[in-house]
């Protein structure tokens, strides 16, 4: 590794990894400077500094904290070679996706990690995950936003939490792992990208995004209030996509009445994505309404990309919205609109 270790900043936000037992259950209380003491061997890989940004259960993670993370990395970007964010697991995939859009073209690695059991516990996955995150963040070939967990490196837009208790909590949806880490060694499956543009930081997010999850026979009381308040509605449909007849009349009328509301069709199915052209129920809405389609994006990426997009472009420009939404960012779209792999 040479004589000079690479500088990595640990940004702690709370989560299970930093939690201690209390009479009301686990709660974040271990500081960034205390967490790092559990992996003394990290000094073999990196020159580490620590920062406590906040201390929240990841259930309470919110877009405002995403922006605080962005500002922290932006302010320290020239001082460090990489960044590790200690984060709770429940919303880690959302934060990883959000940072993929809020920090683009980063030649330096921005790595999220955490644990299923507190780092203070005897049987914890926290020490391994945290050390692996630093090993990856300190490697000069690492870049962009990713999650390092259970020895796997997952692109920030492809991660999903698939297990609530097991150590192998995350999977990479319909895309290979960027790398795996074993015995302190990184084995890469995806070669680093060549960025033609400089790193770009975005500090604005529009959280007026509504997720409408469909259920069989559903009815929505006062659907118009949703269209009135929210800038975008993401419809989490069944299978490859469609709108059930129990809500379609109201939905079509409101789409026409509120043309500036961005509509995005997604799917409840984790793998293989949406395709509204397959069935009549999908083709009907495709012919009668203007909307975006998630295709093979994860739901976490769709939500985060929409929040970023709405805050940073003119949402009345339908052509621009399509161009931005279907742009490939940190592997978020593999096939996309034209169904050709990128």
pLDDT of 174 higher than 70: yes
Active centre residues (catalytic) = 16
pLDDT of 126 higher than 60: yes
Instruction: Looking at the chain, list the stretches that DSSP marks H as alpha helix, in order from N- to C-terminal side.
Output: 32-35, 63-76, 92-102, 126-137, 223-229, 248-257, 280-288, 299-312, 318-325
- Tokens encoding 168: 């192998």
pTM for the structure as a whole: 0.92
Looking at the fold, whether 178 and 223 belong to one and the same domain comes out as no
Query: Contact 139/113 with Cβ under 8 angstroms?
Result: no
Q: Indicate whether 114 belongs to any domain.
A: yes
Alpha carbon distances (Å) from 281 to 29, 31, 131, 248: 50, 52, 49, 10
Looking at the fold, whether 138 and 46 belong to one and the same domain comes out as yes
Looking at the fold, whether 185 and 228 belong to one and the same domain comes out as no
Looking at the fold, whether 100 and 131 belong to one and the same domain comes out as yes
Looking at the fold, whether 256 and 292 belong to one and the same domain comes out as yes
CATH of the domain at 235: 3.40.50.40
Question: For the chain, how many structural domains are there in total?
Answer: 2
Cβ atoms < 10 Å from Cβ of 222: 9
> Residue 284 has what pLDDT?
59
Residue 22: band (very low, low, confident or very high) from pLDDT cuts 50, 70, 90: confident
Q: Indicate whether 330 belongs to any domain.
A: no
pLDDT of 230 higher than 90: yes
Q: What's the domain range around 315? A: 209-325
250-296 residue pLDDT tens: 888 998 899 899 999 888 777 766 665 554 455 556 656 678 888 99
295-338 residue pLDDT tens: 999 999 999 999 999 999 887 788 898 899 999 999 999 876 65
175-227 residue pLDDT tens: 999 999 999 999 999 999 999 899 999 999 999 999 999 888 888 888 999 99
Looking at the fold, whether 309 and 268 belong to one and the same domain comes out as yes
Residue 341: band (very low, low, confident or very high) from pLDDT cuts 50, 70, 90: very low
């Amino acid at each position: 590794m040479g004589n000079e270790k690479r500088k990595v900043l640990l940004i702690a936000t709370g989560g299970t990894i930093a939690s201690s037992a209390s009479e009301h259950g686990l709660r974040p209380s271990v500081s960034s400077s205390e967490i790092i003491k559990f992996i003394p061997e990290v000094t073999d890989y990196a020159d580490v500094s620590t920062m406590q940004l906040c201390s929240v259960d990841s259930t309470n993670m919110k877009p405002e904290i995403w922006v605080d993370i962005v500002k922290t990395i932006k302010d320290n970007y020239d001082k460090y070679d990489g960044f590790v964010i200690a984060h709770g697991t429940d919303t880690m995939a959302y934060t990883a996706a959000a940072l993929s859009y809020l920090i683009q073209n980063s030649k330096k690695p921005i790595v999220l990690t955490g644990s299923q059991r507190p780092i203070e516990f005897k049987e914890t996955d926290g020490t391994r995950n945290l050390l692996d995150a630093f090993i990856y963040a300190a490697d000069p070939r690492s870049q962009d936003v990713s999650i390092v967990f259970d020895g796997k490196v997952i692109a920030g837009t492809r991660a999903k939490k698939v297990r609530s208790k097991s150590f192998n909590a995350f999977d990479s949806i319909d895309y290979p792992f960027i790398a795996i880490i074993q015995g302190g060694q990184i084995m890469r499956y995806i070669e680093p990208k060549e960025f033609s543009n400089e790193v770009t930081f975005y500090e604005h997010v529009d959280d007026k995004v509504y997720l409408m999850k469909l259920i069989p026979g559903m009815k929505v009381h006062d659907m118009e209030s949703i269209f009135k308040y929210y800038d975008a509605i993401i419809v989490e449909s069944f299978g490859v996509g469609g709108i059930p007849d129990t809500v379609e009349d109201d939905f079509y009328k409101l789409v026409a009445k509120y043309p500036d509301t961005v509509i995005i069709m997604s799917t409840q199915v984790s793998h293989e994505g949406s395709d509204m052209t397959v069935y009549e129920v999908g083709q009907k809405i495709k012919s009668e309404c203007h909307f975006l389609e998630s295709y093979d994006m994860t739901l976490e990426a769709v939500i985060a990309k929409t929040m970023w997009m709405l805050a940073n472009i003119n949402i009345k420009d339908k052509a621009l919205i399509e161009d931005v939404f279907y742009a490939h960012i940190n592997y978020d779209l593999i096939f996309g609109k034209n169904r050709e792999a990128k």
